[in-house]
Chains A and B, each alone.
Chain A
Amino acid sequence: MEKTNKKFYTEWLFNLLTYGLCILWLVPIVWMAVVTFKPESVDVTKVSNWFQPPFTLENVKAVLNHPQADVFRWIANSAIISTITTCGVLLICTLAAFAFSRISFRGKNILFIVIMAGMMIPREATLVPLYTLFQSTGMLNTRFSLIAPSLAAPFAIIILKNFFDGLPNALFEAAQIDGCGWFRTCFGIAAPLSKSALSSLAILVFMQSWNDFLWPFISITKPELVTIPVGLPVFRSQYLTGMGLTMAAGALLAAPIILVFIVFQKNIVKGIASAGIKG
């Protein structure tokens, strides 16, 4: 009896501490939301003020009416670029991974090694040539320049190839005997059976693209093409006003992805874990 009691209290304490840590973890994000809806006159460092009136929409309005900041366009740009990048990576890397896993061709092993070696090339170390490449071809400041460098992702090939390797051979043999072509085998059999790997990969690639900062920061100068990570610092550098405005901008730009995360949290958390361990 005493032992069960002790166990009960340990469990209780453990949960209490963990949830305390959770609250601490959420404070920065909650605070961003609080500051967004508070007038400049309120002392937002006092927790007791956080959830009590007065509230205001002034900061949000100021962000939306800002002449140099088009937050909805930034969100749309980020969404478009991340979506196309994700679809592109899935398509291109499915084809390549399928070839490496299921088709035999000359020079396969050496090509695989060359591509895997490419995983070690950080994009951050090729900024100058990448910039000059797009500049000399007149493609700087295009959506293409933000998408194309991310499409050939060696880590995606590893994840997918591992998955394709694990699919039963009999399936592919049957497909061949039935006269099913390679393209149909790839997209009609291998891809649908790899939904879990593909969705993990999609989440990973989308998040990477959504958060990509350095390359668009360097290469994009047209306001029409600005993405969320590049747009937000505009508020800071041009308007050294109180924190209400910057926090409201941050909150508006964070809201869509946080909502998506809340809806798909289970899939995202699972997807990252399974892709991470293989990559």
Chain B
Amino acid sequence: MQKSTTLPVAGRSRHFYKVKDSAIGYLFLLPFLFFYAVFSLYPMVQGFVISFFKWNITGAKTFVGIANYAKLFQDPVFWKALTNTLVYVFVSTPIFMLGSLILALIVDSKMLRGKTFVRSTFFLPNILAVSITAVIWLNIFQPYTGLMNAATHALGVKNEIFWLSNLSLVWPSIILVTFWWNTGYYMLIYLAGLQEIPVEQYEAASIDGATGFQRIWRITVPCLKRTHLLVLFLQVIASFKIFGQVFLITEGGPGGASRTLLQYIYETGFTTFQMGQASAASFILLAIILIVSLFQLKIMNKQED
């Protein structure tokens, strides 16, 4: 891990150099450590502390022990938000992974003309800010005036579909938006993985007479194991934190059917100012992401051995 950093310089003792190195090392790290400690570590600890207090931001803090957590677990709104988020993670992840893999295979194909254009096109939505994406799709999903219903009418569906106020359609709609918005990013990660597969693998396969699909299934997919894991965990962690597009398109509706965990945190913390309870919910989110990350670390390290 470490390269040669202590240099044998004539005439000076090793000890002197080490001391000097330490000072310089810390000096180089100082700006990072300052911002890291103040804006990452301190808030994490402080958040954990606040989660044991009742506090409405203006008044005094009163210690309530685990009451915030108890209240949280008795709150049906919290459970709904948590299950909404969990279901979204489990349903959307395979769709996004498969989608981005397929797009990557398409833009990596030797048959494709104008690769740069096609790659850029699939990636383009990714550069749009979440509120721009939300405005576009909000209008697309609008009944009577939106594109979505114009398309379904053209396909022969007679009645108006209320994409965003229908309980069973609101999540598929959100998944569609997120798919359009984010898949390009994961496509690029897959693409980088694809380009690391040695060409000899494919040559051997074509000598053995493997067809295109066999080649993908037997060589490409297994060779991408590390990339699958990377995309999987990036995706899962991002999905647990889903908020912007849902909040801006549905505002959590209809009737809380699309409220996410992060929206719950936002609402308890910044619209009703129950800071203690919002911190408790934040800690649950933190714990979930920590567990997923540790899991990722373990699996990815195992892969490397």
Contacts and interface: CB of A to CB of B under 8 A. Distances in A.
Interface of A: 10-11, 14-15, 18-19, 21-22, 25-29, 31-32, 35, 44-46, 91-93, 95-96, 98-106, 108, 111, 115, 118-122, 124-133, 135, 148-149, 151-152, 154, 157, 165, 169, 172-173, 176-177, 182, 186, 207, 210-211, 213-214, 218, 228-233, 235-236, 242-243, 246-247, 249-250, 253-254, 257-258, 261-262, 265-266, 268-269, 272-274, 276-277
Interface string B6-44: 110100000000100111111011011111101111111
A44 B18 CA distance: 71
A29 B189 CA distance: 23
Contacts of A128: 47, 50, 265, 269, 275, 278-279, 282
Contacts of A19: 118
A104 B18 contact: yes
B162 interface: no
Contact of B25 (A105, A125, A127, A210): A105
B89 interface: no
B255 to A, nearest CB: 20
Minimum-distance CB pairs A-B, first 7: A105-B25, A45-B150, A99-B28, A152-B36, A126-B43, A152-B35, A125-B286
Contacts, number: 297
A213 B123 CA distance: 20
Pick from A15, A19, A28, A242 the residue with the most CB of B within 10 Å: A28
B178 to A, nearest CB: 13
A96 B131 CA distance: 34
Nearest to A166: B3
The main secondary structure of chain B at its interface with chain A is helix
A20 B23 CA distance: 60
A64 B253 CA distance: 31
A273 B135 contact: no
A74 to B, nearest CB: 10
A269 B123 contact: yes
A238 to B, nearest CB: 14
Given A129-B46, A130-B43, 15 more contacts: A26-B124, A105-B25, A115-B36, A125-B47, A126-B282, A128-B275, A151-B39, A152-B36, A165-B3, A177-B9, A213-B131, A229-B131, A233-B131, A273-B189, A273-B191
B172 interface: no
B193 interface: yes
Given A111-B29, A236-B138, A129 B5 contact: no
A152 to B, nearest CB: 4
Given A14-B109, A15-B113, A277-B189, A92 B32 contact: yes
B131 A230 contact: yes
A176 B24 CA distance: 14
A262 B118 CA distance: 12
Contacts of B262: 124, 214
Contacts of A96: 28-29, 31-33
23 contacts: A18-B118, A22-B122, A28-B137, A29-B125, A92-B35, A93-B32, A102-B3, A103-B25, A124-B243, A125-B47, A126-B40, A126-B282, A128-B269, A135-B57, A152-B35, A152-B36, A165-B3, A182-B28, A233-B131, A247-B139, A253-B132, A266-B116, A276-B185
Contacts of B121: 22, 25-26
A275 B21 CA distance: 30
A272 B127 contact: no
A14 B46 contact: no
Nearest to A247: B139
A182 B26 CA distance: 12
Nearest to B36: A152
B31 A92 contact: yes
Interface residues on B, range: 35 or more
B241 interface: yes
B116 A265 contact: yes
Given A120-B293, A125-B286, A213-B244, A218 B111 contact: no
B131 A126 contact: no
A104 B25 contact: yes
B202 interface: no
Contacts of B275: 128, 132
Nearest to A235: B135
B129 A28 contact: no
Interface string B269-304: 110000100110011011001100110000000000
B285 A124 contact: yes
Contacts of A250: 131-132, 135-136
Contact of B43 (A129, A154, A236): A129
A272 B185 contact: yes
Nearest to B17: A104
Interface in B186-202: 188-189, 191-193
